[in-house]
Structure 1
Amino acid sequence: MTESLSTERTTAWRAYIEASQRLFTQVEEDLRATSGLSFADYHVLVLLSEAPGQRLRMGELADRLVFSPSRLTYQVSTMQRRGLVARQSCPDDRRGSEAVLTAAGLLTLREAAPHHLTSVRHHLIDDLDDAEIACLTRVFTRLGTRLRAVRDASTTAPQE
């Protein structure tokens, strides 16, 4: 049987779950109210805007978003219908496809970004001091690295 968590660790886990869900919900509500974008829409636009040529292979984009391939296909399809992204064949590998940021998508991102930044600052960043920001960065960078390694190991492990 697995050993239970101490009271302090249970309290920390529950505080994290509740606060992170409330934070995500509030930031997404603010984003929808000011731009009509979901958090997933916004994240796709940010990742594409930062990518070389403002395009990413669908598999890489799914990995960066932590989306399944089918979820990404649905996400990109809905954004494509709204003119925010296009889906094109990869220039160097016609079997693959890329999500490409459109001019309308870039404009939408530029209009949404200041409001999103205000929301993130108001609901999280401005309430933390420099030491707390540094601590969060260390903790979540370490966890993200470990969780990516676990996922990568499970996807490359031989199947029995």
Structure 2
Amino acid sequence: MIAIQHDPFDIGALYRRLSDGCHGTGAVVSFVGRVRDFNESPEVTALTLEHYPGMTERALENVVERARQRWQINDVIVVHRIGYMTPGDDIVAVLVSTVHRQAAFEACAFIMDFLKTSAPFWKKEHTSSGAYWVSERESDLASLKRWEQ
């Protein structure tokens, strides 16, 4: 399941959806990214996430397919929110189920690293002194390099 949505998600419901009826699963790893009150500016009051409809979903499908080629994945859920959010709001959820825990950890990290750098999302941070578009971070690109073969 891949979803791009304005509405908040329920991580418990996503977990239940992923794990219900899947008796071959030995591990489920989940990641939830949240809005922080700091980033490039120390006083982030909100952010707006935009995306390119259609292209974004295809990019996420491609990332999940690449993960499936590397690990024996039972199932994957990726939910990414768009729109206006404030500190503490959940932005993204990635859940991966596999037979063994190491594959689940690695596949989840792989999907997030590619999502952060390759999916067509744009983030605008709002502060008390104005708003600005967030630029690509070197640390995200460095995280992505570990998956190169």
TM-score if structure 2 supplies the norm length? 0.24
Greater helix fraction, Structure 1 or Structure 2: 1
Higher RCO, 1 or 2 (CA under 8 Å, sep at least 6)?
2
TM-score if structure 1 supplies the norm length? 0.23
Greater strand fraction, Structure 1 or Structure 2: 2
